[in-house]
Amino acid sequence: MDRRDRAAPRQHVPALRPAGARGSARRVRFGHGKLRATNRDQQTVVMTTPRLLGYWRLRRRYIISNFRYQMLQWPNVTWLVDPDWREDERRRVGDYLQRGTRVNQQGGLSECRFCERHNGSAELTDGVYCWPEGLAHYVSEHDVRLPEEFVGHALSQPPVPPGLPQPSFDEKGRRDRSWPGPSFAHLLLALEGPCSDGFPVIRVDRSWWRQVTGMQGNA
């Protein structure tokens, strides 16, 4: 069976507006656990709080005060390595992960659990899911295969509009802050609300990622 046949039902608010659509970006208000979005027809829709994914257990050699908490909270990234994942799907999912709306600037840089390179300091969201800025690196460079439900979601999204510049990442794993530029910014989810370092701060649902990776039930 094609993996996409088993995908989760598409959300009522897509990550990107259909190619060719014009007008202002959707404006989304957030807070109190729900996201409120106004579509192009000025209709207000309520989105569920985006599901967090792509957080990993720290490497064992890091002995820090919250080590035990970290061990229990997030999965070991090596559990999801699958070198046999179809290359075309891997490429499309990795590409999709680079193109979310930037939110939730963190205080420090993340570090890749495999190669220890800097791997960004913020999160990206499409309004349905929210993931670390460096998650695409794990998919593209370390054969990490994300859960079927998310893969189906990513593959079901509208194609990238022609001419949209490819995001680039600096030596600290941070996406070019000017991407996608004024001519394409309207294609991304637009968020309104509290900001930190100039970028929105949103709430996320942390339970799905723990559940789908078998971490649910741990304290």
List residues near Zn ion by CB under 5 A: 112, 114-115
Q: Which of residues 13 and 112 has its CB atom nearest to Zn ion in the complex? A: 112
Q: Which of residues 15 and 136 has its CB atom nearest to Zn ion in the complex? A: 136
Say if residues 94 and 142 touch (Cβ distance below 8 Å). no
Q: Which of residues 114 and 179 has its CB atom nearest to Zn ion in the complex? A: 114
Min CB(146)–Zn ion separation in Å: 16
Min CB(103)–Zn ion separation in Å: 23
Min CB(184)–Zn ion separation in Å: 28
Min CB(173)–Zn ion separation in Å: 9
Q: Which of residues 114 and 150 has its CB atom nearest to Zn ion in the complex? A: 114
Min CB(119)–Zn ion separation in Å: 7
Q: Which of residues 139 and 215 has its CB atom nearest to Zn ion in the complex? A: 139
Residue 189, by phi and psi: left (phi above 0), alpha (psi -120 to 50) or beta? beta
- 101 phi and psi, to 5 degrees? -80, 135
